[in-house]
Amino acid sequence: MKTKRTVAVALVLSAVSISSAWSTDKAKTNAGDDMAQHVQRQAVEPVAAAVGPETATRAGSQAAIFGGMVPASTASRTVALAPEMKYVNVASGETVTFKSGGQEATWKFAESIRGTSVDLGVMLPGMPNAQGVRVHIERSRLFTGH
């Protein structure tokens, strides 16, 4: 009898916790949009105060899966983009400042379990010389245990 009661309580608690999580995307933020729109907007439009006014380049609409823009002071290195450049190797979780044509953008790469690559022009479409430069993101040592 006690086991049935414990199972019933567990089911009720599960239902209550799932229903609140299920409707999170319908909740309104202080900006007046729903949570899903808010997260999408933040991924595409970094906070100007955090990134800095000197950054003239915005992230592309599909860039959030590879990380996000961060303040330049957090970069571990700087890469100057040149017209003949074909690729850049980065570590998972690394923060890199890309500079070209008087513009700069600092990107913190997400941890990638298997490693991946992306065209820098997808991440930073307005950055001069970014189109056609492949960014090779190494496998994450955090997730692979190496």
Question: 36-78 pLDDT, tens per residue?
Answer: 555 555 554 544 444 444 445 777 777 888 899 999 999 999 9
Contact between residue 95 and residue 79 where contact means Cβ atoms under 8 Å apart: no
Distance CA 132, CA 122 (A): 9
Contact between residue 144 and residue 93 where contact means Cβ atoms under 8 Å apart: no
Distance CA 110, CA 4 (A): 44
- Angle, vertex CA 130, rays to CA 128 and CA 131, nearest 5: 110
Higher pLDDT, 90 or 10: 90
For residue 2, tell me if it sits in a domain. no
User: With a threshold of 0.75, does the pTM exceed it?
Assistant: no
For residue 98, tell me if it sits in a domain. yes
Question: 88-120 pLDDT, tens per residue?
Answer: 999 999 999 999 989 999 999 999 888 899 999
Copy the structure tokens of residue 95.
């923060």
Distance CA 128, CA 81 (A): 8
Contact between residue 94 and residue 110 where contact means Cβ atoms under 8 Å apart: no
For residue 18, tell me if it sits in a domain. no
- pLDDT of res. 65: 86
Find the domain containing 64 and state its range. Answer: 45-144
Number of domains forming the structure of the chain: 1
User: Can you give the CATH number for the domain in which 58 is found?
Assistant: 2.60.40.2280
For residue 53, tell me if it sits in a domain. yes
- pLDDT of res. 26: 55
Distance CA 95, CA 11 (A): 44
For residue 4, tell me if it sits in a domain. no
